[in-house]
A and B are shown apart, each in its own frame.
Chain A
Amino acid sequence: MNSKIQNDIKELVEQQVISQEVASSIEAFYQSKKVNTPNRLFTVFGVLGSILVGLGIILILAHNWDNFSKIVKTFFAFSPLLIGQFLVGFSILKDKSKTWKEASGTFLFFAVGASISLVSQIYNIPGDISSFLLTWILLCVPLVYLLKSNALAIIHIVFMTYYGVEYGYNFLSTSDTPWFYLLLLALVLPYYKQLLKFKLDTNITSILNWLLPLSLIIVLGAFVETVSVLGVLMYVILFGLFYNIGKLPIFNNQKLRRNGYLILGSLGTVYMLMLTSFKWMWNDLLRVELVYNSQEFFITLLLFLIALGVLAYLLSKKFVVKYNVIHYAFIIFTMVFFVGLNSQIIPTVLINLLVLIIALVTIKVGADKFHFGILNYGLLIITILITCRFFDTNMSFVLRGILFVGIGLGFFLTNYIMLKRQKRRNLK
């Protein structure tokens, strides 16, 4: 039990809010709870230790000791693997604590990497790093489920992102599409689903709430091969999808900081809209030819349908504040995108208008909820929009100055008015 609760109980007893009996039963409750929770810190350090030792072994082996014979090297390739397997096997058989399972599983993950890499060193197997990563990850996926290991789930997601980037973004030559990334993603999703179902409030779930969308954001660009013009649309739809997923009750009812989908979706949508609110952006987009019979188009279509599905679900269950435009931003953008490919003025104007409406709606939502963060986020969007417009409009300096002063005053006034309203409400 932490000392803050102990102090509080003491104070409550002293102030005669609760009796001594109640106090001791509260203390007993916390004591019993503590027995059931494993030592989290110990697990974290166990996992960190395993990661460091594992990576250290890989680095030591990467020295390529050329004075050892092939047999000796092979022995070194397999010994960490066998030790790791023994430890994991032991913790499964004896049903050891969470700490044991997490730490041994993490160690085994890196031991598998070490052994494959040493074998490829001994026999000079070329294979680029992405195929090496793929073999490695696939050999370790089952461990996530067998050990029910959170650390391994995180490592899996980090490494599959690494794989996607390594395979999909090639800056020197033509790149390839990392289709296997989708397989790796699909392999970890059941674990995530279990977490959402049974351990919704734990830290690991909120870490994955951030990691999964982040991974997708990083890798999505790798699916764009030739029709780069659709990349922009793809990202807008992805962010729209995340925003709508974030509004599903299962995520929306949690603290905002646990809801990576909502925050990434909202920030991403605003970022993409800011980007496309420039005229030169559409100039660039117009230059590239749009090919409908391409993998980019089908991926975009698929993403759009999924996002639409989530939105339809939200609407049917009435989880959506009707006027909150940001829910529909991806649909509006898609329409503007296909209409706008014929001119540059119309889409620029429409997108600017869309950003403005989103900002106003955000301010209104913030004011209705008495939430200063949301309110100022809305104001910030307007500020950025205006700042952006300074780059491509020929406004006089006086006018720009007045606009800035106006926005600044707006910040003060809205916050002040809301503060007052809140105080009045508190008084009532």
Chain B
Amino acid sequence: MKTTYLFILFLIVVAAQIIVPTHMIFNREDVLNTGIAYKFKTKPIDPSDPFRGKYITLNFEVDQYITEDTTWVRDEVIYVYLDIDSLGFAEVNKISKEILPDIDKDFVEAKVNWYAGYSKELNIDFPFNRFYMEESKAYTAEVVVRENLRDSLLQNVYALVYVKEGESVLKDVIIDDIPIKDYVEQNELENE
């Protein structure tokens, strides 16, 4: 009797342990399948995480927003409304602390990084600034992109982000129209 009771409780735990990652997956898949794709111009750098391995951190060109409002608190949730510029990249249309019902634009939920009073710049902490890569490639990716940016050969590094009702999923990082992992592989081959 006691064993069955324990086992039933255990099954609940099992369910929770399975539901949490599955929920994470479904949530993301939904955004990828039905969301709208935006291109965010970016610069990658490479740190690592003890459990999840190497990733590149993405710095976006559009993470600054000039605003007269000075009441931003660090880590406060904000809603970033998006536009697409003439070259097809994402740009910030408006930032709000609440969801605005009368704007017909896509938005992502992000956080305030900091607000610099002197330059009136709000720095946005986008929730898709981390792209996991195979450990041997993350650093190379950073180096390749850095060097090419310096030589201004690369105008075209962007993050492909799917957006749906505030949620956002980073699908890939694209350099010169090919995914970053392939780009790194190509570069390694050329160097050999």
Bound pair: A and B?
yes
The interface of chain A, by Cβ under 8 A from chain B, is: 58, 61-66, 74, 77-78, 81, 85, 88-89, 92-93, 95, 108, 112-113, 115-126, 129, 132, 135, 139-140, 142-143, 146, 173-174, 176
Q: Is the CB of A92 within 8 A of B7?
A: yes
Q: Are A126 and B9 in contact (CB under 8 A)?
A: no
A residues in contact with B24, CB < 8 Å:
116, 119-120, 123, 125
Q: Which residues of A contact B135 (CB under 8 A)?
A: 62-64
Q: Chain B residue with minimal CB distance to A77? A: B21
- Given known contacts A64-B135, A66-B137, A142-B13, A123 and B53 CB-to-CB distance under 8 angstroms: no
B3 at the interface (CB under 8 A from A): yes
The 0/1 profile, CB within 8 Å of A marked 1, for residues 46-70 of chain B is 0001111111000000000000000
Say whether B28 contacts A116, CB under 8 Å: no
Seed contacts A124-B128, A125-B28; 16 additional CB < 8 Å A-B pairs: A62-B49, A66-B134, A66-B181, A81-B21, A89-B7, A116-B21, A121-B55, A123-B169, A123-B170, A125-B24, A126-B127, A126-B129, A129-B49, A139-B16, A146-B9, A176-B75
- Closest B residue by C-beta to A135: B20
CA distance A330 to B12 in the complex (A): 45
Whether A129 and B21, one on each chain, are in contact in the complex, defined by CB atoms closer than 8 angstroms, is no
Whether B133 and A123, one on each chain, are in contact in the complex, defined by CB atoms closer than 8 angstroms, is no
13 sample A-B contacts, Cβ–Cβ < 8 Å, listed by A number? A62-B53, A66-B133, A66-B137, A66-B181, A74-B25, A89-B14, A93-B7, A116-B24, A122-B25, A125-B130, A135-B20, A139-B17, A146-B9
Instruction: Give the docked Cα–Cα distance between A66 and B185 (Å).
Output: 11
* Chain B residue contacts of A122, Cβ below 8 A: 25, 132
A78's contact among B9, B21, B51, by CB below 8 Å, is which? B21
- Residues in B126-154 with C-beta less than 8 Å from chain A: 127-135, 137
Across the interface, B51 reaches (CB within 8 A) one of A62, A88, A92, A95, namely: A62
Could you tell me the distance between the alpha carbons of A118 and B25 in the complex, rounded to whole angstroms? Answer: 11
Contacts of B49 in A (CB 8 A): 62, 129
> Which B residues touch A81, using CB under 8 A?
17-18, 21
- Smallest distance from the beta carbon of B126 to chain A beta carbons, Å? 9
| Nearest CB of chain B from residue A137's CB, rounded to whole Å | 12
| Cα distance A321–B91 in the bound complex, in angstroms | 72
A61 to B53, CA, bound (A): 8
In the complex, whether B120 has a CB less than 8 A from a CB of chain A is no
Task: Decide yes or no whether B6 CB sits under 8 A from chain A.
Answer: yes
Say yes or no for B97: interface residue by CB 8 A criterion.
Answer: no
> In the assembled complex, which residues on chain A have CB atoms less than 8 Å from the CB atom of B51?
58, 62, 113, 117, 129, 132
Bound state CA distance, A173 and B113, in angstroms?
10
- A366 to B19: give the CA distance in the assembly, Å: 58
Most buried by A among B10, B17, B74, B130: B17
Interface string of B16-34 (1 = CB under 8 A from A): 1110110011001000000
B contact residues around A173 at 8 Å (CB): 74
A residues near B181, Cβ cutoff 8 Å:
66
Q: In the complex the two chains form, is A89's CB within 8 Å of B10's CB?
A: yes
Cβ of B11: which chain A residues have Cβ within 8 Å of it? 89
Q: Shortest distance in angstroms between B58's beta carbon and chain A's nearest beta carbon?
A: 10
User: Which of A77, A89, A126 sits near B130, CB closer than 8 Å?
Assistant: A126
Are B13 and A146 closer than 8 Å at their CB atoms?
yes
User: Do A124 and B25 touch across chains, with their CB atoms under 8 A apart?
Assistant: no
Whether B133 contacts A64 by the Cβ 8 Å rule is yes
CA–CA, A64 to B139, complex, Å? 13
Within the assembled complex, what's the spacing in Å between the Cα atoms of A119 and B171? 13
Residues of A within 8 A of B133 (CB): 64, 66
| Interchain CA distance A121-B56 in the complex, whole Å | 11
Select which of A65, A92, A112, A129 is within 8 A of B3 by beta carbon: A92
Report which of A77, A95, A139, A142 forms a contact with B9, defined as CB distance below 8 A: A142
Q: A119 contacts B53, CB within 8 Å?
A: no
- Tell me the nearest residue of chain A to B14, going by C-beta: A85
Distance in Å: Cβ of A193 to nearest Cβ of chain B: 19
Q: Are B3 and A124 in contact (CB under 8 A)?
A: no
Of all chain B residues, the one with the shortest Cβ separation from A55 is B51
The answer to whether A121 touches B16 (Cβ under 8 A) is no
Given known A81-B18, A117-B51, A124-B170, contact A92–B10 (CB-CB < 8 A): yes
- A124 touching B14, Cβ below 8 Å: no
In the complex, chain A residues whose CB is within 8 Å of the CB of B75: 176
Residue of B51, B128, B169 with most chain A CB atoms under a 10 A cut-off: B51
Chain B residues, Cβ within 8 Å of A120: 24, 52, 132
Nearest CB in chain B: distance from A72 CB, A? 14
Contacts of B127 in A (CB 8 A): 126
Q: Which residue of B lies closest to A166 (CB)?
A: B50
Q: Are B130 and A124 in contact (CB-based, < 8 A)?
A: yes
Considering only CB atoms, which chain A residue lies closest to B159 in the complex? Answer: A124
Set of chain A residues within 8 Å of B3, measured between Cβ atoms: 92-93, 95
Max chain B C-beta neighbours (<10 A), residue from A81, A119, A135? A119
Contacts of B55 in A (CB 8 A): 64, 121, 124
Residue of B nearest to A146 (CB): B10
Q: Give min CB distance, B31 to chain A, whole Å.
A: 9
